[in-house]
Chain A
Amino acid sequence: MSDSVIKLENIYYSYGEKTVLRNVNLDIKRGMFMGMVGPNGGGKTTLIKIILGLLRPDHGSIYLLDEPIEAFKDWNRIGFVSQKANTFNKGFPATVFEVVAMGLTAKVGYFKFMRKNHKEKVLQAIDQVGMGEYAYQNIGNLSGGQQQRVFIARALVSEPKLLILDEPTVGIDYRNVERFYELLHELNVKQNITMLLVTHDTGAMTKYATNIVCLNQTLHFHGKSEEYSALSAEYLSEIYGHPVQVIVHDHD
């Protein structure tokens, strides 16, 4: 068994006439914190949807935890936190506990009920993201940053090997963004959860990610975070198709 968590080979995808992805090859190894950047419309969300099995590529193969996606059944090994977490129905009458417990629904399985040890896992996951005191509060009353932590807990509760996050910090105020990345970093280092983080925030990316890819239809850059920091602004502007200012945050 190799230590590959996500492996993409030769992925092509188009919406009608418009090619969104071409010849994308990517290998994410266990324990990596992979940051994905790229311009809007560059295909980031499409690629995430393909990895999650929500879209089928026109061409190419996908392996999740060494299994071809067609045969992959272990979906609760993959946690997903979407942009949508910011636009969910805030009037939904559910507590933090109820929302996080949803992360176990598929794992517990049909015709089975939540048991005591499941409930303990839910509370553990809530504690893990530092939301313990809010467990029985309505999720709609929390701040954006807190809500996003709850969604992380929902993804964590099924004990995933991999977390995929699509622009998770959109709509979170900047002071909490830092804490949010710290949490991801901690999960990555301490629990060895592989991360795939899509973001516009190239600053945070260079600080927390171990590896970075830049996607605009195809992968333009693929390497270590330090190498990305060393890229010239001209090179990035070329990838993005417009001028880019690089803000580098040093590693601690």
Chain B
Amino acid sequence: MLSDIIQFDFLRHTFLTGLLIGIIAPLLGSFLVVRRLSLLADALSHVTLAGIAFGLFIEKQLTLPLGPLYSGMGFSVIGAILIEKLRSVYKAYQEIGIPIILSGGVGLSVIFISLANGFNTDLFNYLFGSVSAVSRNDFFTILGIFIFIILMIVIFYKELLTLSFDEEHATVSGIHSKRIHFLFIVLTALVIAASIRIVGVLLVSALMTLPVASAMRIAVSFKQLILFAIIFAETAVIIGLITGYYLSIPPGGTIVMVAIIILLITLVFKRLSFHKGVVEK
């Protein structure tokens, strides 16, 4: 594949994009998981699908090159804002916004897909990811998102961590919890939109949560959690993209399976080291 990557632009773009999302997906995922908001990623990815279907529909009907990546991003951010609104409406049932937005996203997707005259290969790529879908333009858009997200996380790291650990304490100590949380979900929405080209709508949340779940088994600090999660995600992306390319399987599937294998290994590893600890005592 290495020679192919050098030879074919589209492969190079896919590979580089894969490496970028292999960093930002588990980075945001670390905060998502510890805040018990893993399902937020699922809801937003389905809203993103609606946005992509909308983009494809507009492209087809009006021959307007809106770009499904942008419409997906737009829908994702709007979905994130709506979930927040629902969270403040149903204060005692804060998770209820997630299924509402998820099903709303699927519903809209179905409508736009059938309006655009059904499933085509393009849409299939969006569902499960593709090794050949990333154009030069897409790559630069995703690079821009990557830089923006890394900057935001570096700048607001301490606020995000403080808020994730103890929202009440954060608020009492004078942090603008609501604004920081809002920033966080907008960043999450952007990561999801950026990742969809590679892993697809149905599996994007896996790339945000599985490496974090593995890292959780061995990390002592939050910084370690992020570091291990990124290492695991990159491993999954690289192996997944290569095997996907050679076996002609959408990379979403192969990446997630590698991530699951890593998770299984960390589960076994933890058990082994636990037994060792008992013996040593």
Which A residues form the contact surface with B (CB < 8 A)? 52-54, 73, 75-76, 78, 80, 82, 84, 88-89, 91-95, 97-99, 101-108, 110-111, 113-114, 136-138, 154, 158
Q: Would A94 and B165 count as touching, CB distance under 8 A?
A: yes
Q: In the docked arrangement, what's the CA distance between A104 and B161, Å?
A: 12
One of A84, A103, A113 near B173 (C-beta < 8 A): A103
**Residues of B in contact with A (beta carbons under 8 Å apart):** 34, 36, 155-156, 158-159, 161-162, 165-166, 168-175, 215-216, 219-225
| A residues in contact with B172, CB < 8 Å | 52-54, 75, 78, 80
Partner of B158, one of A78, A89, A92, A101: A101
Please give, as numbers and ranges, the residues of chain B lying within 8 Å of A107 by CB-CB distance: 173
6 contacts between A and B (CB under 8 A): A93-B215, A95-B221, A103-B173, A105-B162, A105-B170, A106-B170
Given contacts A93-B222, A94-B221, A138-B220, contact A102 B34 (CB under 8 A): no
Across the interface, name the chain A residue whose C-beta is closest to B173.
A106
Residue in A99, A104, A108, A137 whose Cβ sees the most chain B Cβ within 10 Å: A99
Chain B residues whose CB sits within 8 angstroms of the CB of A80 once the complex forms: 169, 172-173
Q: Are B169 and A102 in contact (CB under 8 A)?
A: yes
Closest to B158 in A: A105
Query: Which 10 interchain pairs have the tightest Cβ spacing?
Result: A75-B174, A106-B174, A106-B173, A102-B162, A105-B162, A95-B221, A93-B219, A93-B225, A105-B158, A138-B220
Structural contact, B34 and A105, CB atoms closer than 8 A = no
Contacts of A158 in B (CB 8 A): 173
By CB atoms of chain A within 10 A, which of B155, B159, B168, B172 has the most? Answer: B172
Shortest beta-carbon distance from B26 to chain A in Å: 13
Q: Which of A103, A113, A137, A154 contacts B220 (CB under 8 A)?
A: A137
CA distance A91 to B213 in the complex (A): 11
Residues on A with C-beta less than 8 A from B159 are: 105, 110
Rounded to whole angstroms, the CA-CA distance of A66 and B123 in the bound complex is 63
Residues of A within 8 A of B215 (CB): 93
Knowing that A76-B174, A93-B224, A104-B158 touch, tell me 19 more A-B residue pairs with CB under 8 angstroms: A54-B168, A73-B174, A75-B172, A75-B173, A78-B172, A80-B173, A84-B168, A88-B165, A93-B34, A93-B225, A94-B165, A102-B162, A102-B166, A102-B170, A105-B175, A136-B220, A136-B221, A138-B220, A138-B221
